[in-house]
Amino acid sequence: MNFLETSILTLKHALTFLECLTKFIAQKGSVLSIVNSPLEQFKVIPFYVMESGDKIMDFTIGNITIFLFFNFLIVLVLVGLSVYKSRLIPNRFRVIIEEIFQFVVETIRQQTGRPGLRYTVFYFLVFFFILVANLIGLIPFSFTTTSHLIVVSYIALTANLAFAIIGFARHGLSFLKLFFPSSAPKPLIPLITVIEFVSYLIRTFSLSLRLFANMMAGHILLYILASFVLRLMAGGLIIASFVPIVLMIGVFALELGICCIQAYVFLVLLSIYLSDSIATPGH
């Protein structure tokens, strides 16, 4: 059997599979309405609700809670496997984790210098957690925790509060010189000080919004393309569905890159913010 015959046979099998899938979708029309809206995939669904008597504290367990725990568990397992029964020749998990760790170390060194390396473990865990959460979100019927502003805002706010504490601990009240540019013309110092202070406060929001918006936009686009393909198949337009399928595969590959890039951007920006706390105030 030559290459042409093999290709034709493979194409016939693919068409047979698509015909069977089309018949299944036609019989199970509810498949098309699993998610009525592209935004419904981000809906937080509570599974167990527990509130205090005064309703001040809420211990609700939902899909976002489960996936946050699942993301953390994957990070813990991968790191644990990398050090389990450590030998002179590292196993595959250790090689991967060491490469990621070294990548984080080099990024911190480039942005903060040697003083920032003492916080490498924190940066490694944040970067690895966001990377794993982004990638898990690409699995069908999973949940993307980083597509929720409250989750990424919590991480960003915690980090920025820690950086402010580090700045005051290292420099005392001199850390406030960060907002008073010494080289600016004196008439403009009040205005520039206000701008510097406001820009420092909105770091948390801008850092969170960037990751949240990229994750949400990518998943919405993937949903729209996938639902379009399903509707074409349900209508019997199998051949016409090849174009959106190819486009969906391309978008999925692009989303894989975006998941990694956004985790890297989050790491770089946190490193830059730390450098402001470590460096001598005044600019």
Q: So what's the pLDDT on residue 138? A: 84
Global pTM? 0.76
Identify the band that residue 38 occupies on the pLDDT scale cut at 50, 70 and 90.
low
Token pair, residue 167, equals 């700045």
**Between the CA of residue 30 and those of 22, 104, 139, 232, what are the distances in Å?**
13, 46, 21, 15
Lowest mean pLDDT among 3-17, 90-104, 145-159, 188-202: 3-17
Q: So what's the pLDDT on residue 28? A: 42
Token pair, residue 218, equals 């990518």
CA distance 135 to 97: 16
Whether 62 contacts 45, CB under 8 Å: yes
Q: So what's the pLDDT on residue 248? A: 76
Whether 23 contacts 234, CB under 8 Å: no
Other Cβ atoms less than 10 A from the Cβ of 183: the count is 6
Mean local confidence (pLDDT), 120-140: 89
Spatial neighbors of 45 by CB under 8 A, at least 6 apart, are 62, 63
Which burial class, exposed, middle or buried, applies to 111 when counting CB atoms under 10 A from its CB (0-12, 13-18, 19+)? middle
Question: In terms of pLDDT, which residue wins out, 94 or 38?
Answer: 94
Q: So what's the pLDDT on residue 268? A: 92
Tens-digit pLDDT profile for residues 42-68: 677 776 666 656 666 666 777 788 888
Q: Phi/psi class of residue 52: alpha, beta or left (left: φ > 0; alpha: ψ in -120 to 50)?
A: beta
Q: So what's the pLDDT on residue 186? A: 75
Spatial neighbors of 143 by CB under 8 A, at least 6 apart, are 41, 63, 64, 66, 67, 137
Average pLDDT of the chain is 77
Question: In terms of pLDDT, which residue wins out, 169 or 56?
Answer: 169
Identify the band that residue 126 occupies on the pLDDT scale cut at 50, 70 and 90.
very high
Question: In terms of pLDDT, which residue wins out, 124 or 18?
Answer: 124
Question: To the nearest whole percent, how much of the chain has pLDDT over 90?
Answer: 10
Strand partners, 61: 48
Q: So what's the pLDDT on residue 25? A: 46
User: Where do the domains of the chain lie?
Assistant: 26-278
